[in-house]
Chain A
Amino acid sequence: DIQMTQSPSSLSASVGDRVTITCRASQGISNYLAWYQQKPGKVPKLLIYAASTLRSGVPSRFSGSGSGTDFTLTISSLQPEDVATYYCQKYDSALRTFGQGTKVEIK
């Protein structure tokens, strides 16, 4: 089975900082990758699909890139409301494995 590994597991950054989260697949998954945001005590929310397509309504400071095995989620200017845990998920096959999550906090 393909494993999804995110790094770092947590990070602390200042408001306005550029934040990058990495997701690595153990085998190639083309661009079949989604990113989710889960704020504390809330339901996960789909941010990006097809590795780089921003879902309607998601702020443009979020962006995704990558293909094959290496993917990134970037927040261009971190805002207080971005405090959350972010997950990647592959959907190249029926087994929709999630990464272990990256917790983003404000310094």
Chain B
Amino acid sequence: EVQLVDSGGGLVKPGGSLRLSCAASGFTFSSYAMNWVRQAPGKGLEWVSSISAGSHYIYYADSVKGRFSISRDNADNSLYLQMNSLRVEDTAIYYCARDAAAAAGHDYWGQGTLVTVSP
């Protein structure tokens, strides 16, 4: 069974940093591109970042470019999101999500981890 478990969220002050993790199991992690998607309280979904299976291709939404860094450890079946220079508007539930075959959407999602940025 495919499982994605998100962790690392918490309360942080503006300007602070946080590192999110996503532990994957039940599939060959090294064969799939992965993503982070966030959802601010009461708002819609926002794609944040993606990383290819071998980490060769990395992309970011303009809203986080230069502040967030996505990475993965295929030996450990883990996905990460390093978040620096956090802003109040980064407050959201952060989900890791697997790319389906041919990148046709995100077919499995973690349960999400809440990041709150507040003075």
Contact = CB atoms under 8 A, between A and B. Distances in A.
Given A34-B104, A43-B109, A46-B107, A100 B59 contact: no
Give the interface size class of chain B. 20 to 34
Interface residues of A, number: 25
Interface string B51-75: 0000001010110000000000000
Contacts of B47: 89, 95-98
Nearest to A35: B105
Interface in A70-95: 85, 87, 89, 91, 94-95
A89 B107 CA distance: 13
B35 interface: yes
Interface of A: 1, 32, 34, 36, 38, 43-46, 49-50, 53, 55, 85, 87, 89, 91, 94-101
Nearest to B57: A94
Contacts, number: 58
The winner among A34, A38, A43 for most chain B CB atoms within 10 A is: A43
Contacts of A45: 109
Contacts of A87: 44-45
A41 to B, nearest CB: 11
Contacts of B35: 96
Contact of A44 (B50, B59, B109): B109
Nearest to B101: A49
The winner among A1, A46, A95 for most chain B CB atoms within 10 A is: A46
Contacts of A95: 47, 59, 61
B59 A46 contact: no
Nearest to B99: A91
Contacts of A43: 95, 109-112
Contacts of A38: 45
Nearest to B4: A43
Interface in B22-53: 35, 37, 44-47, 50
